[in-house]
Each structure stands twice: as C-alpha cells, then as structure tokens.
Homo-oligomer: A and B are copies of this chain.
Amino acid sequence: MDKQVKDKKTAIMDVALKLFTERGFHGTSTAQISKEAGVATGTLFNYFPTKEDLINSLYFEVKGRLSACIKEGLDSEAPFEGRMKRLWSNFISCGVNKPEEFHFIGQFSSSPYITKITREEAMKEYEFIRALVEEGFRNGEIGNYSMELAMMILYQSSRAVVSLILDTGHLQDTDEIIEEGFEILWRGLAKN
C-alpha cells in the first residue's frame, strides 16, 4: 500500500470519525464523507465495500488507539492503589486528549446497531482493566462488592469525568479533577 493510497484511506477515516461523532452514523452520508475527504464517492467504496464496513473498520482502529493510550505505563510493579490511579489517570487524560475517539466509542457502544456479540468482542480490548480489578478483589484491596458493579462504576465514573472536562471546558483543571475524582472513587471502592 503506497503513500497515495494510505493518504486517501486515512483522509476518509479521519473525516468519517469527525462526522460520525458530530452527526451520528445515520446522520452522516457517504457522499458527505467523500466530499469532505476530497475524494470521489467511488473511492470510498473501493476501500470500504459498504458503509457498515467503514464504521466497523473505524471502530477497531479507534478502539485500538484508545486502548493503547490507556495501557501506557500500567505494567509497573507499583502497589495496587498506584496502578489503579494510573489506570484512572490514563483513562481520563486519553479521553481528554482524544475527544473525537472518546465520543465515537461512547456513541458506538451504546448504539442500537451493535449486537451483543460485537459488544462483547469489543470488551476484550479492555480485558486488562478487568484483570486489574480482579487482582484488587483477590488481594483484598477492593471491598467486597460485585465484580461487575465495581467495573461499571470505575468505567462510567471515568467517562463522566472526561465528559465534565470536555463539555465544560475545564481543560486547564484536568490534573486537579483527576486527583479529586480518584479520591472519590478510591474511597468508595477500597477496603476500609
């Protein structure tokens, strides 16, 4: 795949990410995407046989990008609380730094399009989060709560914080909000 090809494909995916995030899947036509990407309508369908293929390709690409960002520096030998805090902090700063990706994933995973199977498949990318929380349970670092409940509260709270920062424009207060948010979360989840 040479540079020209990669350029067009990348342009299509970049524009698709932007427009899907702004207007939703049904609200964005393939014509709009190809026009804004500066290619002909036919070109889009060379790379992505159907609109659904485009959405799925984009999903895996974006999911991978976020997943890689969140994983950074998580393999340390630090104490459990420190790694949880790193996960929390990564989650939020990745969301804040990649707002389109963040919104896209949020929209995609709660979309009525997505079958249970696809959603479960997507969850595998975040398996390491489950592993970390499970470790916390085994070692008694996290209180005696339902595993799924703790996971959901961790995940959705971090999403809530990203939305708070992005929607209200508190970009300069990010570090402080991360600290405060983790304090709330950790006091809630930790044993004693």
How would you classify the secondary structure of chain A's contact residues: helix, strand, loop or mixed?
helix
Smallest CB separation, A135 vs chain B (Å)? 18
- Considering the chains assembled together, what is the distance between the CA atoms of A160 and B150 in angstroms? 10
A contacts with B, residue count (CB < 8 A) = 40
Tell whether, in the assembled complex, residue B164 and residue A152 are in contact, meaning their CB atoms are under 8 Å apart.
yes
Q: Is A23 an interface residue (CB 8 A)?
A: yes
Count the copies: 2
Task: Give the top 4 A-B pairs by smallest Cβ distance, nearest first.
Answer: A26-B26, A188-B188, A156-B160, A184-B188
Smallest CB separation, A54 vs chain B (Å)? 16
Q: Is A111 an interface residue (CB 8 A)?
A: yes
Residues of B within 8 A of A106 (CB): 110
Residues of B within 8 A of A36 (CB): none
